[in-house]
A and B are shown apart, each in its own frame.
Chain A
Amino acid sequence: MRRTSGPLASAALLGVLVASLFPLYWSVVVASHDNAALSRRVPPLLPGAELPANAREVFGAVDFWAALGNSAAVAGIATASNVLLSTMAGFAFARLRFRGRDKLFAVVVTSAMVPAQLGVVPLFELVGDFGWYGELTAVVVPGLVSAFSVFWMRQACRESVPAELVDAARVDGCSVARTYWHVALPALRPHAVVLGMLTFLASWNDFFWPLVVLDPHRTPTVQIALSTLAGGYYTDHPLVLTGAVLGTLPVVLLFALTAKRIVAGLGRGAVGR
């Protein structure tokens, strides 16, 4: 009956889409002009031709290639390791029986709610004791597996790895490791793509801890390089936003490739009915 959509609703939806996209469009507009064009009385509203020149300037001002490489390495390792370790732990929590399981899982859930930034001062000391200050290791190792990943993968296991199959494998004398590899992991593959993507994004976009612990000149990530670009006394907006566009492009492309699964799997981390 009332399933037809009114013009008002369509207009509102259009507004939402424009609001979602406009800041990205505007980044490209600013990134493709020079400062002179931006300081005219009427700012340019369409993209210009200066993007290549601005990009060259970005790569000259900071070591952006190194930043891209560092970010890719950090986020790539975090992704692979979170997927591996959280499928293992999630499988154990969802489908294996062992003493203390529920209490240990309660620890996972609780720790997921503790804001990580609060231990940052001792963490800084600890990383220094390990000799990791200014090294990518300092960002990589604490991020190898998160409570969120474990929590999320346990849910995925409960949905997608049949308990009967795991029990049958056990009766047949299959080892736990083989059951994980041949029964759980294949069933978890679609979920692994979603979790991997979420991990990659979170790692690529991380700012606070890299800012504290990395050396902006020697081991910048993309976010640190961007904050260096923006950090001078005078902010060169076309330069800064060219960096922002270059640093955003990889994640947006990755998102475009996996959006379908991400959108479908988003509800999992929240409240399941």
Chain B
Amino acid sequence: MLFARWDHRITPYLFIAPFFVLFLVFGLYPLLRTAWMSLHRWDLLDGPVAFTGAENYTALLADPHFYNALVNTLSIFVVATVPQLLAALGIAALLDRPSRGSTALRAVVLLPNVVPVVAVALVFTQLLGRDQGLVNWALSWFGARPVDWQAHAWSAHLGVAIMVIWRWTGYNALLYLAAMQTVPRQLREAAELDGASRARVFWTVTLPWIRPTVLFTAVVSTIGGLQLFAEPRLFGGTSTGGNDRQFQTLVMYLYENGFDRFDAGYAAAVSWVLFALCAILAFGNAALLRRLVRRG
């Protein structure tokens, strides 16, 4: 009896304890220590050198390489996300029919998301090669001169965005599809009885219904997009992202400062600015989501 009472009181905490121990040690503590570090001149290997207050942040806000990385990150994010989510909606609409809902079909659509991001980056780097790449070969049919994809900001951003689009469109399409399949039959049929075309049913019934999922994917894509690292890093082979940093993202800049230059304090400041950006964009999206859901 005593054991039972003790058991029902204590055991739930024991069940959740492993998560919280790991979160405190490997999640929360590093995050807070990042803030502390960012207020110091701090060498990655030797530790703190001097307390410098906000110096890292003032330096960062005057650092052209930081703004360059910020603009690149946002540019790639927009080029990757907007077409991706639109295409995902279209694919979900195509699959949202009984005859097309087969598991095999959906598995193929999801397949790119299963492929390691490193492998994705490597095959697209080959496809976009200047001399041997298939894309330039195809462009040459139309008389285009070979594009040196890494050499220009626009083409490098496009190349990296294509990798992201390939890997994530199918995943988002299946999330939309799952949401579309919860649209009540009567709602759709009522609209069809009123003589609405299929396109109209999609815009007036399906899309409003799946709006929460659309906004969820927008939030996830935002957080993921701000953290982009593997694709551009492998596209150029270094964390500078091209000779003129034309495709260096914020996390690559973080990596360059922390692990190429051992300037841990500065890297920590980049981390916190990135964190603030994620928080602002995610909270902004979440507020939007709440408002739209209430309205919908």
Q: Does A38 contact B (CB under 8 A)?
A: yes
Whether A118 lies near B116 (C-beta < 8 A) is no
Given contacts A43-B137, A115-B274, 18 further A-B contacts (CB under 8 A): A3-B99, A20-B108, A92-B16, A98-B12, A98-B13, A115-B226, A117-B254, A118-B34, A118-B274, A119-B30, A121-B267, A123-B26, A123-B30, A145-B18, A212-B259, A241-B123, A267-B174, A267-B178
A side interface size, CB within 8 A: 96
Per-position 1/0 for A1-29, Cβ under 8 A of B: 11101000100110011011101101100
Specify the chain B residue showing the minimal Cβ separation from A145: B19
Q: How large is the interface on B (under 10, 10 to 19, 20 to 34, 35 or more residues)?
A: 35 or more
Instruction: Give complex CA distance A104, B15 in Å.
Output: 12
Interface status of B244 (Cβ within 8 A of chain A): no
**Residue A77 is within 8 A (CB to CB) of chain B in the complex:** no
Chain A contacts for B194, CB-based, 8 A: none
B137 → chain A, closest Cβ, in Å? 6
- List, in ascending order, chain B residues with CB within 8 A of A247's CB: 116, 118-119
Is A262 an interface residue, CB under 8 A from the partner? yes
B271 engages A120 (CB within 8 Å):
yes
> Whose C-beta in chain B lies nearest to the C-beta of A24?
B115
Instruction: Decide: A122 and B34 in contact? CB cutoff 8 A.
Output: yes
Identify which of B9, B118, B127, B171 contacts A227 (C-beta below 8 A).
B118
CB distance from B268 to the nearest CB of A (A): 5
Contact A252 B115 (CB under 8 A): yes
5 closest A-B pairs (Cβ-Cβ)?
Answer: A119-B30, A267-B178, A122-B33, A176-B11, A259-B107
Q: Which of A243-273 contact B (CB under 8 A)?
A: 244-245, 247-248, 251-252, 255-256, 259-260, 262-264, 266-267, 270-271, 273
- Chain B neighbourhood of A267, CB < 8 A: 174-175, 178-179
Provide the residues of chain A in CB contact with B44, threshold 8 Å. Answer: 121, 124-125
Is B131 part of the contact surface with A, judged by Cβ < 8 Å?
A: yes
**Also in contact, A223 and B97, with CB within 8 A (given A119-B30, A208-B230):** no
Say which residue of B97, B124, B125, B171 sits within 8 Å of A5 (CB atoms): B97
- Is A142 part of the contact surface with B, judged by Cβ < 8 Å? yes
A104 to B: closest C-beta gap in Å: 7
Are A201 and B229 in contact, with the CB atoms below 8 A? no
B-chain residues with CB within 8 Å of residue A86 when the two chains form the complex: 19
Contact A26 B107 (CB under 8 A): no
Partner of A175, one of B4, B91, B264: B4
- Flag whether B67 is at the interface (Cβ < 8 A): no
B29 near A122 with CB under 8 A, answer: yes
CB of A163 within 8 Å of the partner chain: no
- Which residue of chain B has its CB nearest to the CB of A268? B178
Q: Is B208 an interface residue (CB 8 A)?
A: no
User: Judging by beta carbons under 8 Å apart, are A263 and B103 in contact?
Assistant: yes
Q: Could you tell me if B22 and A144 are in contact, using CB atoms closer than 8 angstroms?
A: yes
Chain A residues, Cβ within 8 Å of B118: 205, 207, 223, 226-227, 244, 247
Tell me if A64 is interfacial: C-beta within 8 Å of chain B: no
State whether the Cβ of B223 lies closer than 8 Å to any Cβ in chain A. Answer: yes
Query: In the complex, A144→B15 CA distance in Å?
Result: 14
Are A142 and B26 also in contact (CB < 8 A) when A207-B118, A266-B110 are?
yes
From B3, B19, B179, B212, A147 is in contact (CB under 8 Å) with B19
A57 smallest CB distance to B (angstroms): 16
**Most B Cβ at <10 Å: residue of A23, A248, A267:** A23
A133–B127 Cα gap in the complex (Å)? 36
Using a Cβ cutoff of 8 Å, how many contacts connect chains A and B?
278
Q: Is B216 an interface residue (CB 8 A)?
A: yes
A→B interface (CB under 8 Å): 1-3, 5, 9, 12-13, 16-17, 19-21, 23-24, 26-27, 30, 38-39, 42-43, 85-86, 88-89, 91-93, 96-98, 101, 104, 107-108, 111, 113-126, 141-142, 144-145, 147, 150, 170, 173, 175-177, 180, 201, 204-205, 207-208, 212, 222-223, 226-227, 230-231, 235, 237, 240-241, 244-245, 247-248, 251-252, 255-256, 259-260, 262-264, 266-267, 270-271, 273
Indicate which residue in B19, B26, B34, B171 contacts A108 across the interface (CB closer than 8 Å): B19
Complex contacts, A2 vs chain B, CB 8 Å: 192, 198
| Interchain CB contact (< 8 A) of A17 among B7, B108, B124 | B108
Minimal beta-carbon separation of B237 from chain A (angstroms): 6
B278 in the interface (beta carbon within 8 A) = yes
CB proximity to A under 8 Å, residues B83-122: 90-91, 94-95, 97-100, 103-112, 114-120, 122
B27 at interface by CB-CB < 8 Å: yes
Q: Which residues of A contact B282 (CB under 8 A)?
A: 113
Q: Please, how many angstroms separate the alpha-carbon atoms of A13 and B97 in the complex? A: 12
Q: How far is the CA of A8 from the CA of B12 in the complex (A)?
A: 55
Name B132's closest neighbour in chain A (CB-CB): A38
How far is the CB of B240 from the nearest CB of chain A, in Å? 14
Closest residue of chain B to A88 (Cβ to Cβ) is B15
State whether the Cβ of B159 lies closer than 8 Å to any Cβ in chain A. no
**Residue B69 CB within 8 A of the other chain:** no
B275 touches A118 (CB 8 A): yes
Is B114 within 8 A of A121, CB to CB? no
Contacts of B22 in A (CB 8 A): 141-142, 144-145
Contact A230 B227 (CB under 8 A): no
Q: Which of A86, A91, A117, A241 has the most CB of B within 10 A?
A: A117
The answer to whether B116 touches A204 (Cβ under 8 A) is yes
